[in-house]
A and B are shown apart, each in its own frame.
Chain A
């Protein structure tokens, strides 16, 4: 009897989780292929490729927007790595005066949305001619992404400590050798986690790209927006799915790339 109730609880829980995480995407997919789906029909009258055809038509600018989005996300992630790897080392392995305050400053952008900050920076960006440029948008995207990268790399450094590097030193490995053969492989999980967040968060930015890009730097969320905000529902759904797919593909690609790099180094 008792086991039965437990199994019941587990079953209800799984159904609930599936409902809230899978159902929206099933619904988006149906919507993106639907045609003539008036209230109160629960399923569409007929299916059509119209929305997808629009999304991939050369006039829609989707492909360019995808490339712009990916370009920005990748450059932002590389800059974040360059900044966060030394910072993570300091925060994860050293004790120093003012560490708590510095860490708080570095992580603060997590709780204050970037649009609030970027409205303040807008004038400065205009003065330095950074608005309406990809560079300006890249700088913008660093604000909400860098703290996550720092956090992820810090945890990895914290687990690494100094002992392995000291062993390498005793065996005669130089500084650069030690970094690439001892430290870097150890950081891979943190780098993967931090880069995933960095890419996903950068891809998701809408309003700061609009503000700083001034309509000249067109990313995927910007192309999507008019359809999501009261436009053609099928096209909005198709863009939503496309966005999700690109995020997932970018994450898988990065994961594979880093793991392959790691394996290559192991063989050497």
Chain B
């Protein structure tokens, strides 16, 4: 009997902490977004804040900007991640294991630094007075800083995308790397015996094994870049904002009556992430049934 209860007792402290701090945050957000706030004596439930945001252009602009930035960041990050894995694979089949480990470690370096610092690095390299523009001028490709394409604080969000790809592709590589360690070289040699070159061997033997961790990392990168705050706060524009910046500014700079609206934005966007997570989960489950 005690044995049955043991895992629950072990997990209880963590669960309580998560429920109070995390689930609590979501629940309070939901309550506040429907105007239900017993702590300050408001008990009238209303959907007007949701209607308000769904009827506002600002919200939909922010929504589509955020979707665009998160999708492009995810796509580029995943492509870069797979390219790096392919390159590590080439090193491995050429018996250059030491350099493969070194290259992998080197590629992880950006993970050590916060998004704040990374936004700054992207700013000083890609802004119109940044290093890239100086080098292009030096090479005679552009003749004034105005000719440099606007990549920072631009409406499209290229600066934000660059920062996310730079920061998240090491994470993708970290998630995929164990697959490379698991694939036995003999399998690749066998593929070569049957006439496959290195690329075909990678496509036929390694890539199928990458799909599952690739989906998971794509989901994590997408959901993170969907709602993270610091990067678009520094590299974004006043209009259109991303959802997280839009909601934070509504929360802090508007008057108190605007706060439930910020909560409604938060809850709507959290809901999006959870729906995408469920789709991902069901896709994975379907895959499991086939195998």
Residues of A in contact with B (beta carbons under 8 Å apart) = 6, 9-10, 13-14, 17-18, 20-22, 24-25, 27-28, 31, 39-42, 82-84, 86-87, 89-91, 94, 96, 99, 102, 105-106, 108-113, 115-121, 123-124, 127, 139-140, 142-143, 146, 150, 200, 203-204, 206-207, 211, 221, 224-225, 228-229, 233, 236-237, 240, 243-244, 247-248, 251
Contacts and interface: CB of A to CB of B under 8 A. Distances in A.
A179 B117 CA distance: 40
A87 B13 contact: yes
A119 B269 CA distance: 13
B117 A244 contact: yes
A221 B15 contact: no
Interface in B249-291: 251-252, 262-263, 266, 269-270, 273, 277
A237 B145 CA distance: 22
B78 interface: no
Contact of B244 (A86, A115, A233, A247): A115
A233 B13 CA distance: 45
B37 interface: yes
A233 B124 contact: yes
A130 B6 CA distance: 33
Interface string B116-129: 11011101110001
Given A115-B248, A221-B114, A224-B116, A120 B134 contact: no
Contacts of A111: 219-220, 223-224, 273, 277
Nearest to A89: B10
Interface string B83-118: 010010011001010010001001111111111110
A52 B223 CA distance: 37
B21 interface: yes
Nearest to B142: A40
B116 A86 contact: no
Interface stretch (B55-63, B203-211, B227-235): B227-235
B145 A119 contact: no
A204 B263 contact: no
Given A27-B124, A83-B17, A150-B14, A113 B220 contact: no
B266 A119 contact: yes
A229 B23 CA distance: 32
Q: State the majority secondary structure of interface residues on A.
A: helix
Given A116-B29, A118-B25, A233-B124, 5 more contacts: A25-B109, A28-B124, A115-B229, A150-B14, A248-B112
Given A27-B125, A119-B251, A143-B21, A82 B11 contact: no
Contacts of A236: 120
Contact of A96 (B8, B99, B227): B8
B120 A13 contact: no
A154 to B, nearest CB: 11
Given A86-B10, A86-B14, A117 B230 contact: no
A9 B96 CA distance: 13
B39 interface: yes
Given A42-B138, A119-B263, A119-B266, A225 B87 contact: no
Contacts of B125: 24, 27
A116 B227 contact: yes
A225 B234 CA distance: 9
Contact of B266 (A27, A116, A248): A116
B94 A10 contact: yes
Interface residues of B, number: 85
A146 B26 contact: no
A10 B24 CA distance: 50
A224 B234 CA distance: 13
B90 A9 contact: yes
Contact of B262 (A25, A119, A143): A119
A259 B168 CA distance: 29
A9 B133 contact: no
A113 B224 contact: yes
B244 A243 contact: no
Nearest to A208: B229
Nearest to B123: A228
B21 A244 contact: no
Contacts of A124: 24, 28, 39
A211 to B, nearest CB: 8
Contacts of B107: 17, 20-21
A90 B4 CA distance: 11
Given A96-B7, A120-B27, A120-B29, A143 B22 contact: yes
A17 B84 contact: yes
B121 A24 contact: yes
B17 A142 contact: yes
A123 B32 contact: yes
Given A10-B87, A240-B121, A109 B22 contact: yes
Contact of A84 (B14, B116, B227, B244): B14
Contacts of B227: 112-113, 116
A155 to B, nearest CB: 11
Contacts of A237: 120, 124
B247 A229 contact: no
A12 to B, nearest CB: 9
